[in-house]
Structure 1
Amino acid sequence: MTSDTNRIQTAVSASGLELHYDKTAVLRGIDLSLAKGRTLALLGPSGCGKTTLLRLVAGLLAPTKGQIAISGQVVADATSNTFVPPEKRNLGMVFQDYALWPHLTVGGNVSFPLEMRGVSKAEREQRTMRALERVGLAPLAQRRPSDLSGGQQQRVAIARAIVAEPQLVLFDEPLSNLDRELRENMVGELAELIATLGLTAIYVTHDHSEALTLADEVAIMRSGEIAQLASPDILIESPASPEVAEFLRLGSTANLEWRDNGWRLAGSPHVLTNAARPGQEKARILIPTRAISIGESTWPSLPATALRSHFRGDGHLVTAALHGTTGVELQVLSPIKIRPGEQIGLSVDANGILWF
């Protein structure tokens, strides 16, 4: 495949992207490439730089270093002082609060971007109805936003974002203002809508389930950098670091040391495996929740005390402190409720351990 074809098929790319405020680096060394028709989630805690990165792509900020290209066209380059303003980047945006105008009808809200572009009234009406049909809201064109549910308002915002047929749609935590039950329902619906419409999208969120459900690729962001960029499956199976594993809540991380022909939890007598790793005497590992089972608090199980438990759809997630260790807590899924203070035994499948 030629480089020209690659460039045409790439919806957005960033190379060596940095943003500084005075001497403070907000983003450092961002490199990414998103193919057309795919969705990239920027996932991370507050302050990690994900919204800043979205604003750079949108043209609301200019980079201190590096370059951004959309559909092969350079829209920002710090070296050459190239900067294409937002309105000329052919983007759609869906905001956190939807940003719908209450005095306009649903159709009026959706047609507004076309009006700003000078599109004729007849064409505006045609394209507006087509966008509303695509999100299933054509019968509500004459309603006011206040007459709609939160999920319907979300669809209006998406219709407005796609009415001008943009090459890229940017979502800035669009579900964060919904209550939990509605948000959980909307995640699957929004994922289906994005796929059905064939959108190319960048989706900012701090919610793990949203990112893993919606996105083809997920960029885990930490302190202004991308800690790992991969598909949801690879993130779950092969997190790049203990920090990524902990952020995704994949299980428990721990330090091991090789003593007396066994890998033991640091500072304790507990042996997790006898399989030697030549040339290695210390290790950092992830023990996935799926690799731990619960049983009697007798040998060969690891004795532990339950600290807390909360119910989730597939069982009770129990956090337990291992006896004879300092600060080592493991998580195990139990079919029955375990009360704090209860003594339990934990078995670890050594084949499920991930070594960093």
Structure 2
Amino acid sequence: MKVGVEALELTYGEHRAVKNLDLTIPDGSSVVLLGQSGCGKTSTMRCIAGLESPSGGRITIGERTVYDGASGTSIPSHKRNVGMVFQSYAVWPHMTVLDNVAFPLKMKGVGRAEARRKAIDVLEVVGLGHLGERGASMLSGGQMQRVALARSMAMEPAVLLLDEPLSNLDARLRDELRVELRRIQLDRGLTSLYVTHDQQEALALADRIAIMQGGRITQLGTPEEIYAAPASASIASFLGVTNVFEVDSLDGNRAVLADQGGQLLVDEAEAGIPGTRFACIRPEHVRVTPATGEGAATATNRMRGTVEVAVFQGASIRCTVRTGTGLAIEAICPPPVTGTLATGSEVSLEVDARAVRLLPEDVTELQQAQEVVAV
């Protein structure tokens, strides 16, 4: 079902955790709230679930208003038909896997045989059909998280809310379950809201990503839009853009940097945007090669520098290079064909002018659309 949030406010004493927030999750769509700890994303989810009492605004699930500050309407959590999956697995260790999934159905008044059938069906969906009779205490962490997901899905909720459910798992298992979660969401057409501070999870699981900062949504878009065009330098930095340099002034299509005293060639379209203060370059857009003459190129920044640190990551090397003007630039590049990219190596850097984004430091007003458009 469609979920609507209008002008949502949540305060704790004098602290405003959520500030005039608007968000729409279309039926069957997956929206991810992405942001640093303390930005208000979990508080927003808990308001939708009915686990927090908002200070104002309106929340609808389908055609039903579950909270309205103006009229005083507030439907209890257990009557909102939402399923929640938390960081902690909350699996009953003394029960079998099947009983864990069937138990909430029985508490809801579903007959024993019907509850068992639904539990078996949903365990097959999450890939645990063969473990139905196993004791829950004998499961791995990833299997327990699947049981928690199955238990929520068995209730056939109108909306599925997931609060960083993969954060307690190891890196490889997180990668596997991201794919599995996305498959389940798409196959079953689940309306879902996912909370995370992990950008890779957000990119993998979302139809739309809502970036939250300071209790507000500061950017809303598809994963491709968010990744390619962050709205501010602070968002870019959070999304892994490690090369963020303050701009002192623009000289045509050259950005004069404030502290380092160097310059960066930028695209003419970027140079024409007023009020920009920071030059942002993704590390994967920096090309590192053995030191050569700087040469001249009309559309390329070319610099020489010294490798300060290089970290081998298998398919890539992440390194920091200090240029002659004192600029520290991070790069993610393939290993060299010959030799090594060792600390102290003299290298050349190349950055296409089109890869340099000029951005304001922060988004000062809500700039996202008022409604998430279905993909």
Partner in structure 2 of residue 346 of structure 1: 349
Partner in structure 2 of residue 315 of structure 1: 316
Partner in structure 2 of residue 329 of structure 1: 328
1:13-44 CA distances to partner (integer Å, 9 max, x unpaired)? Answer: 11111111111111112111011111111111
Amino acid at match of 1:343: E
Which deviates more from structure 2 when the two are superposed, residues 283-292 or residues 119-128?
A: 283-292
Amino acid at match of 1:265: L
1:174-215 CA distances to partner (integer Å, 9 max, x unpaired)? Answer: 111112222222222222222222211111111111111111
Partner in structure 2 of residue 3 of structure 1: none
1:230-268 CA distances to partner (integer Å, 9 max, x unpaired)? Answer: 110000111111111110013522233234884333352
2:167 to 143, 166, 176: 176
The alpha-carbon deviation at position 69 of structure 1 amounts to 0.9
Partner in structure 1 of residue 279 of structure 2: 285
Cα distance in 2 between the residues matched to 1:303 and 1:16: 51
What SS is found at the alignment partner of 2:2? strand
Task: Report if the CA contact (8 A) 2:276-2:358 is conserved.
Answer: no
Please state if 1:47 is matched with 2:76: no
Cα distance in 2 between the residues matched to 1:314 and 1:113: 46
Partner in structure 2 of residue 7 of structure 1: none
Identity fraction in percent: 39
The alpha-carbon deviation at position 172 of structure 1 amounts to 1.2
Cα distance in 1 between the residues matched to 2:209 and 2:83: 20
The alpha-carbon deviation at position 355 of structure 1 amounts to 2.4
Partner in structure 1 of residue 305 of structure 2: 304
Q: With CA pairs under 8 Å and 6+ residues apart, which has the higher RCO, 1 or 2?
A: 2
Cα distance in 1 between the residues matched to 2:6 and 2:276: 36
What is the 5 A alignment of 1:1-356? 11-256=2-247, 257-259=249-251, 262-266=254-258, 268-273=261-266, 275=268, 277=271, 283-295=277-289, 296=291, 298-300=293-295, 301-312=302-313, 314-325=315-326, 328-336=327-335, 338-356=341-359
Query: Per the alignment, do residues 101 and 122 of structure 1 end up closer, same or farther by CA in structure 2, a change over 3 Å counting?
Result: same
Cα distance in 1 between the residues matched to 2:94 and 2:266: 66
Which deviates more from structure 2 when the two are superposed, residues 276-285 or residues 94-103?
A: 276-285
What SS is found at the alignment partner of 2:21? strand
What SS is found at the alignment partner of 2:93? coil
Cα distance in 2 between the residues matched to 1:185 and 1:35: 26
Aligned residues: 345
1:98-142 CA distances to partner (integer Å, 9 max, x unpaired)? Answer: 100011111111011112212222221222222222223223221
Amino acid at match of 2:313: R
The alpha-carbon deviation at position 307 of structure 1 amounts to 3.1
Amino acid at match of 2:354: N
What SS is found at the alignment partner of 1:213? helix
Task: Report if the CA contact (8 A) 2:318-2:331 is conserved.
Answer: yes
The alpha-carbon deviation at position 165 of structure 1 amounts to 0.8
Query: Per the alignment, do residues 80 and 144 of structure 1 end up closer, same or farther by CA in structure 2, a change over 3 Å counting?
Result: same
Normalised TM-score (structure 1): 0.89
Cα distance in 2 between the residues matched to 1:238 and 1:145: 44
The alpha-carbon deviation at position 280 of structure 1 amounts to 5.6
Amino acid at match of 2:323: L
What SS is found at the alignment partner of 1:303? strand
The alpha-carbon deviation at position 151 of structure 1 amounts to 2.4
1:257-284 CA distances to partner (integer Å, 9 max, x unpaired)? Answer: 2348843333524342484946969742
Which ranges in structure 1 are unaligned for 5 or more consecutive residues? 1-9
Query: Per the alignment, do residues 280 and 163 of structure 1 end up closer, same or farther by CA in structure 2, a change over 3 Å counting?
Result: closer
Task: Report if the CA contact (8 A) 1:306-1:318 is conserved.
Answer: yes
Query: Per the alignment, do residues 148 and 81 of structure 1 end up closer, same or farther by CA in structure 2, a change over 3 Å counting?
Result: same
Amino acid at match of 2:305: A
Query: Per the alignment, do residues 112 and 274 of structure 1 end up closer, same or farther by CA in structure 2, a change over 3 Å counting?
Result: closer
Query: Per the alignment, do residues 275 and 35 of structure 1 end up closer, same or farther by CA in structure 2, a change over 3 Å counting?
Result: closer
Cα distance in 1 between the residues matched to 2:37 and 2:357: 28
